[in-house]
Structure 1
Amino acid sequence: MVTLVIILFIITIVIICRWYLSRVHSSLYWCWDNGIEEKRIFIDTNKISFPENFLWGTAAASYQCEGPGDKAPVASNWSEWEPAGIKNGQRCGIAVDHYHKYKEDIQLMSTLGCNAYRFSLAWDKIEPIEGQYDEDILAHYHDVLKELHRQSIIPMITFHHFVHPLWFEQSSGFLESSNLEKFVRFSVDMFREFEDECHLWCTINEPEVYVSGCYFNGIFPPGHKAQPNEASLVLQHLLQAHIDVYDSIKTIARQPDQHSIGIVKDIFQFDPCNPLNPLDLYASHILDYAMNGCILDFFRTGHLKWTMPGSVQRTYTNLRAPHTNDFIGLNYYSHFLVQFNLFKKPPFEIVHRHDDSGSALMTDMPYPLYPEGLYRACVRLKNELSRIPIYITENGIADRFDDRRHLFLRRYLYALSRAINEADCDVRGYFYWSLIDNFEWAEGFDMKFGLYDVDLQTQQRTLRDGSKYFQYVIQKHREKYEKKKL
């Protein structure tokens, strides 16, 4: 009798576990049709729709695409980091010379049908010497904005996208609290300079990615690897700087309600590799909270609580925080599966799910296609930061052979459409990363994110076949609303 009870108990546990796993699997992974699996449910990725005034654009960072322009290269935290810190000892150099080819590139945006462009101001070129602005560089950005308006493309400006002048880095950058006022002063001055030409502003790009690259894995300058206490302090300072920039701009703006300001938050979900393993659950929760949850909590409550095993717990309170985002810029690419591993230091590793699609679902970066995560990220922002509009400020794929980009665009735009139409997420625009191939930070020029391929020798731009679906979606979107007006 006892044996029978034990057997029934084990069977019951197995059934419950299988049911739980099926529920988890169905919520995290949709049944995409790959053309070879008869049992999969077919998802018609053509069934998508977006709001009438939706922004369609591309995104870029000045350092990654511009080059030095007409003057000798200026020194920045990244120029000093090269080539030792870059894959295969590469240097950015002139990148793809967007500085000189901006008119041509803006025409490419227009050809695609884009009506928006997110770009960053090159703080290193604008202020190569502390307190001295280069008027020629400022005039260049006025010309860029003039051309964007001529082509009916709405600009979105980012103040800090990973790069700053060397003098700022040499004074300890965002690690030193007294430096925050220097960044705030630069941002406010740039707002004054371009106030009449731009109405969408991003303060800081991906603070947690900057922190991770600089102070955890050491692949960004200054390369302080495994320094969680420095990381948490810099994160606090970046969030503080965002608030100060927001409040300062709203104070000086002639028409503050006409200007929307937000921080750009990257979300990579950290999911347990095995949802039934409590150690995987714990490790994934710790990582997700440190990289995502604590920042979202801060902007919801005004209280930052950062914690990581083996480091000092950091707390910071600023009750202005919940009132300092007119929108949230969401950068989304993929997710990570976390597996606890006692023999690793730290005691976890990132793994990837394998299914019938095999390596075809991997990008050239070390993460998979995961469109479901874009839906999840939008819903999370809606739930945790309610009533704050969202712009997808980055989303793209590294695809050297252009054999997954079409699939990527179909699936991610389908997931975004579901977030808007089924989950009622207030998403107001989508910026693909990026228009043209560029210098992908520590990876150099090896990662091909561009809708347009670039020959670095001739600087010739060529539209990739996989990019044409993006152009097609924008065209269909516009035709839909033009027909309604008729």
Structure 2
Amino acid sequence: MSETFAPDFLWGVATAGHQVEGDNNTSDTWFLEHVTPTIFRDPSGRACNSWELWQTDLDLAAGMGLNAFRFSVEWARIEPSPGEFSEEALAHYEALIDGCLARGLAPVVTFSHFTSPHWFAARGGFLDPESADLFARYCGIVMDRFGDRIALAVTFNEPNLCQMLSWANLPPFIADLERATLEAAARAAGVSCYRVGNVMLPEDFAAMTEGMTRAHLAAKAAIKARRPSLPVGLSIAIVDDVALPGGEELRDRKRAEVYDHWLDLARADDFIGVQNYERLTYDASGEVSLPTGTPVNEQGTAVEPDSLRGAVAYAFARSGVPVFVTEHGISAADDTLRAGFIEPSLAGLGQAMAAGIPVLGYCHWSLMDNFEWIFGYSRHLGLHSVDFTTFERTPKPSAAAYAAAVAARRTPTAKFREGLIASS
């Protein structure tokens, strides 16, 4: 195993600001959580209280023998009002960066993990003609403060998620409630168009894709202007779509609608982030039903460790750039499913690498159970459980399983060094 995973391979966990920090009350998502009606099952509230307990979280990651930590900086905290930048927020994230480095963890920073400032959404979000420049300005402020200490930069997290969910055969009431939520937000904000990154209307898909594409390019230019050697990419949600005889046309149409624009865009980037949670199989009649007794996750899809290998293989085949697995995991209240899922998943990733696919690193989602967007606190993807009253973190057996899987593959003396990735 060790011959496949290089000494500088990044082994990490992933988190996202709004999902763990708590009280992100100048954000668009917070605003949507509190309108009526709302698609969000629960308000995020204090989440995991990671704004205060970030050192505890870094200690958990380091204690698992990891060498990377992926997190997002929250634009809404850094620029709560247009053109006004918060020294408190910048200092907080700078301390988080330095805390990573002090523990030998490579800081993998996401600049937009779905959330944006409330004022930005009230302008129409990425439908606004000035959105790319506004996003790039924010990215530049972040880079000026601590960009010299970032290991990898991810501009966007899953800009294709809503298109992917449009293939999920969700009941019609969900689409109706999403539309009602955005309409309620527009009324409450006193604007005609309130738009966010993870609740989209089908008629906006094309324009939102265009807006986020322009924003990615502008952000990358701003980042590279300040540090040309810093690897920059974006992360997309990607199912391992498998075609049985007769299912090829359907699979390829889904790929064209959901992934290929972003994979083609990534050809000019330093890497493509892959976020995989499932495999779906298609035949001439459509999606193939699961055999009776198949273990399933909380979303009702099969627990399939080999899906990671398949998703990584397609992402590389289309984009031609190195892959970073920025998220991979399983939504399951039964932690024995997760604990048994990790080792075979990583074995499959090793097979992909042995076949010649360059992979920079792997981050498991997530360090701990957290606020899972419209599902609120009803989903369980963490290696640690959280008491959402006391905020105590408790390791699950899967945390030890992941640590063991990493230890079996990681060069014992390998430790992240600042500049290691950027200089490669």
Q: Quickly name the TM-score band, shorter chain normalised.
A: 0.7 to 0.9
Q: How many Å separate the matches in 1 of 2:371 and 2:201?
A: 26
* 1:93-112 → structure 2 map (5 Å cutoff): 93-112=45-64
Which of 196, 202, 216 is residue 228 of structure 1 equivalent to?
202
Within-5 A mapping of 1:116-155: 116-155=68-107
1:372 maps to: 306
**Aligned residue for 1:56?**
11
Q: Does 1:187 align with 2:187?
A: no
8 Å CA contact 1:162–1:210 kept in 2: the answer is no
Q: Find out whether 1:353 has 2:290 as its counterpart.
A: yes
Q: What is the SS of the residue equivalent to 1:462?
A: strand
Q: Does residue 78 of the first structure (1) align with residue 29 of the second (2)?
A: yes
Match of 2:279 among 332, 335, 338: 335
**Distance in structure 2 (CA, Å) of the matches to 1:430 and 1:94:** 28
* 2:64 and 2:399 in contact (8 A); partners too: no
Of 264, 275, 295, which aligns to 2:235? 264
The CA distance in 2 between the partners of 1:478 and 1:242, in whole Å, is: 33
State how far apart, in whole Å, the 2-side matches of 1:411 and 1:130 are: 47
- The separation in 1 between residues aligned to 2:206 and 2:307, in whole angstroms, is 26
Gap change, CA 1:431 and 1:287, over 3 Å in 2: same
Which segment is superposed worse, 103-112 or 402-411? 402-411
Query: What does residue range 182-221 of structure 1 map to in structure 2 within 5 Å?
Result: 182-210=134-162, 218=175
**Contact map agreement 1:333 1:374 (CA 8 A) in 2:** yes
CA distance in 2: counterparts of 1:479 and 1:439, whole angstroms: 34
1:179: Cα distance to partner?
1.9
> Secondary structure of the equivalent of 1:392?
strand
- Distance, in Å, in 2 between the alignment partners of 1:226 and 1:64 is 19
Where 1:377 maps in the other structure, the secondary structure is helix
- Structure 1: which amino acid aligns with 2:279? H
- Mapping of residues 285-434 of structure 1, within 5 Å: 285-299=252-266, 322-323=267-268, 325-338=269-282, 352-354=289-291, 358-360=293-295, 362-386=296-320, 388-421=321-354, 423-434=355-366
Shift of 1:480: 5.9
Which residue is 1:465 aligned to? 397
Q: Percent identity?
A: 27
Q: Shift of residue 338 of structure 1?
A: 4.8
Question: How many angstroms apart in 2 are the aligned matches of 1:133 and 1:479?
Answer: 41
Residues 132 and 219 of structure 2 are in contact (CA less than 8 Å); yes or no, is this contact kept in structure 1?
no
Counterpart contact for 2:5–2:410, Cα < 8 Å: no
Q: Give me the whole-angstrom Cα distance separating, in 2, the residues matched to 1:282 and 1:174.
A: 31
Task: Kindly provide the amino acid, as one letter, of the partner of residue 303 in structure 2.
Answer: L
TM superposition shift of 1:148: 1.1
Question: 1:282: Cα distance to partner?
Answer: 3.5
* CA distance in structure 2 between the aligned counterparts of 1:168 and 1:214, rounded to whole angstroms: 25
1:285 positional shift: 2.7
Q: Work out the number of aligned pairs and report it.
A: 390
List gaps (5 residues or longer) in structure 2.
Answer: 184-194, 415-424
Describe the SS at the equivalent of 1:359. Answer: coil
Could you list the per-position Cα deviations for residues 255-284 of structure 1 after superposition, in whole angstroms to 9, with x for gaps in the alignment?
x12x11111122113445xx344xx54433
CA distance in 2, matches of 1:390, 1:276: 29
Q: Distance in 2 between matches of 1:75 and 1:251?
A: 29
1:2-32 Cα distance to aligned partner (Å, 9 max, x none): xxxxxxxxxxxxxxxxxxxxxxxxxxxxxxx
| Shift in CA distance, 58/185, structure 1 to aligned 2, threshold 3 Å | same
* Alpha-carbon distance in structure 1 between the residues aligned to 2:411 and 2:322: 25
Structure number with the bigger relative contact order (C-alpha 8 A, sep ≥ 6) is: 2
- In the TM superposition, what is the alpha-carbon distance from 1:86 to its structure 2 partner? 4.5
SS in 1 for 2:374: helix
Separation (CA, whole Å) in 2 of partners of 1:432 and 1:292: 21
Q: Deviations over 1:422-455 (max 9, x none)?
A: x111112110001011001111111111101111
**What corresponds to 1:476 in structure 2?**
408
Q: 1:122: Cα distance to partner?
A: 0.9
| Equivalent in the alignment of 2:211 | 237
Q: TM-score, normalised by structure 1?
A: 0.74
In structure 1, what is the equivalent of residue 380 of structure 2?
A: 448
Aligned to 2:109, what secondary structure does the other structure show?
strand
**Residues 40-97 of structure 1, C-alpha deviation per residue, up to 9 Å, x if partnerless?**
xxxxxx89952222111000110000012xxxx523221122154345x411000000
- Go from structure 1 to structure 2 and tell me whether the alpha carbon gap of 1:188 and 1:105 turns closer, same or farther (over 3 Å shift): same
CA distance in 2 between partners of 1:79 and 1:470 (Å): 32
Deviations 1:113-172 (A, max 9, x none): 111001101111111111101111111111111211111111011110100011111110
Superposed CA RMSD: 2.6
Q: Kindly provide the amino acid, as one letter, of the partner of residue 90 in structure 1.
A: D
Q: Higher mean Cα deviation, 464-473 or 56-65?
A: 464-473
Per-residue displacement from partner, 1:299-333 (whole Å, max 9, x unpaired)?
4xxxxxxxxxxxxxxxxxxxxxx42x111111111
